[in-house]
Amino acid sequence: MQFETYPDRELMQLQLANILAGELAETLRREGKATLAVPGGTTPGPVFDTLSGVDLDWGNVAVVLTDERWVEETSDRSNTRLLRERLLRGKAAAAHLIPMYHPGPSIPEDGVEILEAGLAPHLPISVLLLGMGADMHTASLFPGADRLEEALSATQRLILPMRAEGAGEPRVTLTAPVLRAAVRVHVMITGAEKRAAIERAASLSPEQAPIRAVLDMAVVHWAE
Ligand SMILES: O=C(O)[C@H](O)[C@@H](O)[C@H](O)[C@H](O)COP(=O)(O)O
């Protein structure tokens, strides 16, 4: 893993937005289209704010969440809602959102195949941003989750439902093969606890520390 340390969070968020924008622009120049995958949670909001104002050919960018909580978009736990409020606005309003939630089914098992069909034409991911929890989960690949082993295997599945003690509601997540097929991989973390966790992850298995599944190919961005 490549580890980048920043003097503070604001600078990290700003620089990361610029890095992601640069990589998207390069992909658009080369391929005419690009797929950006981003996490939800509390850390990426400011990156989205900056990115949404960048002048890019957003009409040819597909945006997908790395994972979603199985809640209506009206919920403040909805990552889709976060995306709509913080990323898919301004210049980035022209981007195409690939759903990671399907209203109607009350459990993710009943909606996941529709989501996979929507995602498939937009793979591989060109630019992937991931977050990480102090328990070393990334996307919704949680240690001890019910379908973690399947999601970490060489599965053909693109998206899997996931339930875990630390996850709250049921979730859906991109599987490890989808994450690992991304052309560029960035992990953004803050604070001493997560820094210690990601350093510890390097010597653990992906079952113990799911972030390990992408660590060998990731640039990790950290600020206190
Ligand atoms: O929906 C989510 O919760 C995520 O996508 C998840 O993988 C997140 O990136 C980490 O839990 C870190 O979350 P924070 O940024 O809130 O610490």
| Closest-lying ligand 1 atom to the alpha carbon of residue 131 | 9
Distance, CA of 171 to CA of 10 (rounded, Å):
29
The proportion of the chain whose per-residue pLDDT surpasses 70, expressed as a percent, equals 100
Q: 49, 55, 19: which is closest to 128 by C-alpha?
A: 19
Summarised one tens digit per residue, pLDDT across range 102-136 is 999 999 999 999 999 999 999 999 999 999 999 99
The ranges assigned to domains in the chain are 2-223
Summarised one tens digit per residue, pLDDT across range 135-174 is 999 999 999 999 999 999 999 999 999 999 989 999 999 9
Distance, CA of 106 to CA of 109 (rounded, Å):
9
Instruction: Kindly report the CATH class assigned to 2-223.
Output: alpha beta
**For atom 7 of ligand 1, which residue has the closest CA?**
139
| 41 Cβ closer than 6 Å to some ligand 1 atom | yes
| 79 Cβ closer than 6 Å to some ligand 1 atom | yes
pTM of the model: 0.98
Peptide bond before 108: cis, by omega within 30 degrees of 0? Answer: no
**Check: complex ipTM more than 0.90:** yes
Summarised one tens digit per residue, pLDDT across range 9-43 is 999 999 999 999 999 999 999 999 999 999 999 99
